[in-house]
Amino acid sequence: MKPIVEILEDKCNLSYSCVRVCPVNAIEVKANRDYARIIPDRCIGCGSCTSVCPENAIVYRDSTPQTKELLKAKEKKIAIVAPSISGEFHDITDYRKFVQMIKQLGFDYVNEVSFGADIIALKYAELFKNFKGKYYITSACPVVVSHIEKFQPEIIDNLAPLVSPMVATAKIVRKLYGDDIKVVYIGPCIDSKDEANLFDGDGRIDSVLTFHELRKLFDEFKIKESKLEFAEFDAPIGYKGSLFPIVNGLLQAADINEDLLTGNVISAEGKMNMLNATRQFTKDIDTIKKHFNLYYCEGCLMGPGTTSGGEKFIRRTRVTNYANKRLKNFDKKKWEKEVEKYWNLDYTRTFKSDNQRIEMPSEERINEILKAIGKEGKNPDLGCNACGYNTCRDFAIAVAKGLAKVDMCLTFSLRNRHDYIKALKSTNEKLAQTQQALQESEKIAQKEKQSAKEASETIGRMLQKLPSGVVIINQDLKIVHSNNSFIEMLGEEAKSIDEVIPGLIGADLKTLLPFNIYNMFSHVFSTGESILNRDIHIENNLFNLSVFTIRKNKIVGAVFRDMYSPEVRKEEVIKRVTEVIDKNLSMVQKIGFLLGEGASETEQMLNSIMELYKMSKKEK
């Protein structure tokens, strides 16, 4: 199965916006890779990254094809709908029209998850009432559960052993309609897609649609509110569980005491509040002595599966208005009978440790990286956040863990570029001064210099015409001459430098080429042995490289041939065919020589025999 969230490589422009929002460092940026990658095992499915990418390069798993296939099934199709619909679908004037629109997709029944929320809320009230010294964290938010399983497994036993309202509702409708049905959950959370895969039997959910995906299906099937009549949700109808999208709605649904003086539950919502809450629960629960009711998003109102740009408090108001409207004529006695009917279903669950924490690198390694980015001796707990990490120390730890690369540090990259360009300009100025000093000697040998200049220009023009990349390096491994093909091969950064320093003259080779290629030049300088026809990769391109000595220990030249160009391919074919022909001709010559030598000896022997025969005949 595809990961819950993935980054499209062809769209990623390495803005690091996704790295900045990921709460668990599940996004890595490797050296020599021009895109970020989500690590599926570390991802908790929060969806924070999906809404911040400026290139829309991050997508979550699409369930619409799977749902359309389910709608073709012969079995009854049941849609169970999260109560946050009232906050999301403000453009639909009457919830009864919304129900009818869902049925028009092909669903036989549409049930409220708010009734499942009622049941689970009452189960929480029962759990908290029977307190035996153990404090719990609510498990209604799948992102909170995933975070604790992967990054704080030491408190996994403190997760309340209860299923989410989504799974509870699936159990309820299977008892109501039978097991031979297809259940599709419609809600605001993308991690529910993975949560649904954890359950089978009566808690099985066959597909999970986000509100955004539901809107796509409405558009695809051309379903509009104005063309439809009313339809009510199918029983059982929810009570205060319709407040579940608001962070403390689950508690209010069961009248769990939230009084600051006498209550025993703390509620928290939002990424930072949730992360801080789980850390403090782990460290100081014996001091806090409260149950924790936690949600990663700012309530289910703002889940990543909702329409982007929604206003939290507007959505919150719509939810409470909808609940008040439904409760005006609510038949509570009927609801109590329904609760009793489904109360004894098994709503318990277990959790599994999946520790994804990476071992903390040594202080020596962290300080080494801080030194490399110029933060040695400075406060490492400060930072500009441009790299995506809260502090420079956090960034250094991520680099040491292999999740980031040093050039993600903006100040490091800018300083390196400025120093590099400054060094090139300084080198160029020194060359200009040297040229001025040499002008005096030009007066003495004007003709010789002019001839040499013309020859040099001719060679330079000839080199510029070559399709292969050509570079000439001095003993300091700095560029003496290079042609346009070599600059084109290096990419945009080299072109920018070329505008300041034409031909990259004076540029340090190790700043332009990967280490393994730069090392070949060092080898030729140190040994005097040429490296010929070596195939190398630079990013996604294949080149044939020859490095050779021009002046021993002083000047080395190199030719880079693009193996993907048609001319080089043709040349390689001709070359290799010629080699085969030469080898065969050589072999034929050797055979001919041996045969010729043998024939000569045979001829001499036959002549000798004939002479002896003639002499013998004359004597007779």
Q: In sequence order, what are the beta bridge partners of 234?
A: 111
pLDDT for 589 beyond 60? no
Rounded to an integer, what distance in angstroms lies between the CA atom of residue 121 and that of residue 132? 19
Q: Which of the two residues, 588 and 83, has the higher pLDDT score?
A: 83
Amino acid (one-letter) located at 470: V
pLDDT for 8 beyond 80? yes
In a domain, 398, yes or no: no
Rounded to an integer, what distance in angstroms lies between the CA atom of residue 221 and that of residue 600? 95
**Contact (Cβ atoms closer than 8 angstroms) between residue 245 and residue 302:** no
pLDDT for 484 beyond 70? yes
Average pLDDT over residues 588-600: 52
Tell me the DSSP string of 223-241.
--GGG----PPBSSPPSGG
Of 319, 342, 365, the position where a domain reaches its end is 342
Per the listing, tokens 């539950």 go with 265
Residue 432 pLDDT = 73
Average pLDDT over residues 94-98: 83
Is the pTM for the entire model greater than 0.75? no
Residue 620 pLDDT = 46
Strands 265-269 and 207-210: unpaired
In a domain, 279, yes or no: yes
In a domain, 397, yes or no: no
All residues at 6 or more sequence positions from 104 whose CB lies less than 8 Å from its CB, including other chains:
221, 223, 228
Mean residue pLDDT of the chain comes to 83
Residues 526, 587, single domain; the answer is no
**DSSP-derived 3-state class of residue 493:** helix
Rounded to an integer, what distance in angstroms lies between the CA atom of residue 36 and that of residue 405? 11
Q: How confident is the model at residue 260 (pLDDT cuts 50, 70, 90)?
A: confident
Per the listing, tokens 């320093």 go with 501
Residues 502, 613, single domain; the answer is no
CATH of the domain at 498: 3.30.450.20
Range from 79-88, 343-352, 370-379, 467-476 carrying the lowest mean pLDDT: 370-379
pLDDT for 374 beyond 90? no
Residues 196, 276, single domain; the answer is yes
Residues 477, 524, single domain; the answer is yes
The DSSP element (H or E) to which 558 belongs, if any, is strand 555-562
**Cβ neighbours around 218 below 10 Å, total:** 19
In a domain, 182, yes or no: yes
Tokens of 143: 């992102």
Rounded to an integer, what distance in angstroms lies between the CA atom of residue 569 and that of residue 235? 72
In a domain, 242, yes or no: yes
Rounded to an integer, what distance in angstroms lies between the CA atom of residue 189 and that of residue 163? 15
pLDDT for 141 beyond 80? yes
Rounded to an integer, what distance in angstroms lies between the CA atom of residue 350 and that of residue 167? 13
**DSSP-derived 3-state class of residue 47:** coil
In a domain, 432, yes or no: no
Q: Residue 173 phi/psi, 5° resolution?
A: -70, -30
User: Over the stretch 178-215, which tens digit does the pLDDT of each residue have?
Assistant: 999 999 999 999 999 999 999 999 999 999 999 999 99
Range from 396-400, 479-483, 600-604 carrying the lowest mean pLDDT: 600-604
**DSSP-derived 3-state class of residue 400:** helix
In a domain, 81, yes or no: yes
Of 120, 108, 85, give the one whose Cα is nearest residue 326: 85
Residues 49, 66, single domain; the answer is no
pLDDT for 177 beyond 90? yes
Residues 56, 102, single domain; the answer is no
pLDDT for 161 beyond 90? yes
Of 285, 318, 303, 347, give the one whose Cα is nearest residue 123: 347
Residue 14 pLDDT = 78
Residues 8, 68, single domain; the answer is no
User: Over the stretch 537-580, which tens digit does the pLDDT of each residue have?
Assistant: 887 788 888 898 888 888 998 988 888 777 655 565 556 545 65
Residues 34, 76, single domain; the answer is no
Residue 592 pLDDT = 47
In a domain, 540, yes or no: yes
Residue 214 pLDDT = 95
Q: How confident is the model at residue 465 (pLDDT cuts 50, 70, 90)?
A: confident
Of 282, 317, 342, the position where a domain reaches its end is 342
Residues 546, 600, single domain; the answer is no
Residues 67, 47, single domain; the answer is no
User: Over the stretch 15-68, which tens digit does the pLDDT of each residue have?
Assistant: 778 888 888 888 887 767 778 889 999 999 999 999 888 888 999 999 999 999
Tokens of 21: 């929002």
Residue 140 pLDDT = 94
Q: Residue 151 phi/psi, 5° resolution?
A: -125, -10
Domain range for 103 is 62-342
Residue 164 pLDDT = 96
Rounded to an integer, what distance in angstroms lies between the CA atom of residue 63 and that of residue 53? 21
Residues 126, 244, single domain; the answer is yes
All residues at 6 or more sequence positions from 360 whose CB lies less than 8 Å from its CB, including other chains:
397
CATH of the domain at 51: 3.30.70.20
Residues 238, 109, single domain; the answer is yes
Rounded to an integer, what distance in angstroms lies between the CA atom of residue 617 and that of residue 620? 5
Count structural domains, the chain: 4
Average pLDDT over residues 390-403: 74
